[in-house]
Amino acid sequence: GQSLEQPSEVTAVEGAIVQINCTYQTSGFYGLSWYQQHDGGAPTFLSYNALDGLEETGRFSSFLSRSDSYGYLLLQELQMKDSASYFCAVASGGSYIPTFGRGTSLIVHP
Amino acid sequence: NAGVTQTPKFQVLKTGQSMTLQCAQDMNHEYMSWYRQDPGMGLRLIHYSVGAGITDQGEVPNGYNVSRSTTEDFPLRLLSAAPSQTSVYFCASTNRDRKSRGYGYTFGSGTRLTVV
């Protein structure tokens, strides 16, 4: 089976940098994705890492270490609108159906 | 281009009633999935489909049926509603062309179901 671990909650102040970690256990690992979900809204796709290293998209970056079965989402220059839940998801064994973590609630304070 | 459309947005059922949650996408996506989201549980896969006429079970399929007669539509049927099925249901879709982006899924806005 597959399992993912991520912190349940992270808090930070506006303008700061925050890192949300995700560790996973799976066979035939294919890639790690990140989704954002605001309260009452639908998840939206943020980023994807298939290879080791950092992928940058504006204020958001995602990192993967396949040897450590570990990844993180880095959010810079935090804004109040970044307060949301963030989910990591793994695809493995060539499957196109991701398995999601339980999500990390990010609270950004003024 | 509406993306993924789910109806209804809210529904209250009595225990034992049946109903169908509708999901339609206009992006010609092959892959469609249904998830349920409960507090602290993340998104759990109920059923999925890789194309018209092909469906399979996910992690929590009991009490639900699906069919995929067209590429666009993927309805989820609750056979006999139970309070344990109170949840938020999301439909999502993608296609094989998104493989290089981890099959980034597009989600519908969700159906909030309460079973009393």
B67 to chain A, closest Cα gap in Å = 17
B88 to chain A, closest Cα gap in Å = 10
Contact state of B42 with A103 under an 8 Å Cβ cutoff: yes
pLDDT value for B100 = 55
**What's the CA gap between A7 and A20, in Å, rounded?**
7
pLDDT, tens only, A32-69: 999 999 999 999 999 989 899 999 989 999 999 999 99
- Which two three-digit tokens encode residue B98? 């998104």
> Is the predicted pLDDT of residue A28 greater than 90, yes or no?
no
Contact state of B104 with A45 under an 8 Å Cβ cutoff: yes
Contact state of A48 with B48 under an 8 Å Cβ cutoff: no
Chain center to CA of A67: 18
- Which parts of A26-103 are beta strand (E)? 29-37, 44-49, 53-57, 60-65, 70-75, 84-92, 99-100
B74 to chain A, closest Cα gap in Å = 16
> Is the predicted pLDDT of residue B17 greater than 70, yes or no?
yes
pLDDT value for B102 = 62
Nearest-CA residue of chain B relative to A8?
B40
**Which residues in chain B have their CB less than 8 angstroms from residue A49's CB?**
102
Q: Which amino acid is at A85?
A: S
B75 to chain A, closest Cα gap in Å = 18
Chain center to CA of A53: 14
> Is the predicted pLDDT of residue B98 greater than 90, yes or no?
no
Output the CA–CA distances (angstroms, integers) from residue A46 to A8, A74, B101, B106, in the order listed.
19, 11, 10, 11
pLDDT, tens only, A83-101: 999 999 987 665 678 889 9
Of B31, B40, B104, the CB nearest to A33: B104
**Which residues in chain A have their CB less than 8 angstroms from residue B27's CB?**
none
pLDDT value for A27 = 80
Size of interface A-B (CB pairs under 8 A): 58
Phi, psi of B115 (to 5 degrees): -110, 120
pLDDT value for B101 = 60
Of A48, A87, A97, the CB nearest to B104: A48
